[in-house]
Amino acid sequence: MSEDLFAEMTETLFEDKSILSEEYRPDVIVERDDEIDAYRSALKDVLFGRNPANVFIYGKTGVGKTAVTEHMMSALQTEVERRDAAEELHVHFRNCNDDSVYRTVRSLINSIRGDEGETFPETGLSTSHALETLYEEMEELGGTFLFILDEIDHLSDPDTLLYELPRARANGHLDAARVGVIGISNNYTFRSSLSPKVKDTLMEKELAFSPYDADELQSILTARAEKALVDGASEDSAIRLAAAKAAKDTGSARQAIDLLREGGDVAEEQGATAITDDHIEVAAARVQRGRVQDKLRDQTMHGQLILESLARIEASGDVPARSKEIQAVYERVARNWGHDPLTTLKSIQNHLADLTMLGFLERTEQNEGRAGGVHYRYELALDPEIILETRESIENQP
Q: What sign has the CA pseudo-torsion 231, 232, 233, 239?
A: positive
Residue pair 202/166 in contact by the 8 Å Cβ criterion: yes
Name the CA dihedral angle for 145, 149, 155, 160, rounded to a multiple of 10 degrees: 20
Residue 67, annotated ligand binder? Answer: yes
Please state whether 172 falls in left (phi above 0), alpha (psi between -120 and 50) or beta: left
Residue 30 annotated as binding site: no
- Alpha-carbon distance of 202 to 302, in angstroms, equals 38
* Other beta carbons within 10 Å of 382: 19
* Cβ contacts of 71 within 8 Å, gap of 6 or more: 25, 29, 36
Of 96, 98, 163, 102, nearest in space to 130 by CA? 102
Strand pairing report for 374-380 and 205-209? unpaired
Is residue 376 annotated as involved in ligand binding?
Answer: no
What b/e string do you get for 331-355 counting C-beta neighbours within 10 Å, with b at 16 or more? bebbeebeeebbeeeeebbebbeeb
**Is residue 58 within 8 Å of 206, Cβ to Cβ?**
yes
222 annotated as belonging to a binding site for a ligand: no
Question: Does the annotation flag 335 for ligand binding?
Answer: no
What CA–CA distance (Å, rounded) separates 315 from 379? Answer: 11
Residue 198 annotated as lining a ligand binding site: no
* Residue 341, SS3 per DSSP: coil
Q: Which amino acid is at 390?
A: T
Angle value at C-alpha 332, between 327 and 333, nearest 5 degrees: 95
Rounded Cα distance, 269 and 254, in Å: 23
Give 138-203 as a DSSP string.
Answer: HHHH-EEEEEEEETGGGSS-HHHHHHHHHHTTTTTS-SSEEEEEEEEES-TTGGGGS-HHHHHHH-
Q: Is 64 annotated as a binding residue?
A: yes
Bind-site residues: 63-67, 212, 224
Bind-site residues for ATP: 63-67, 212, 224
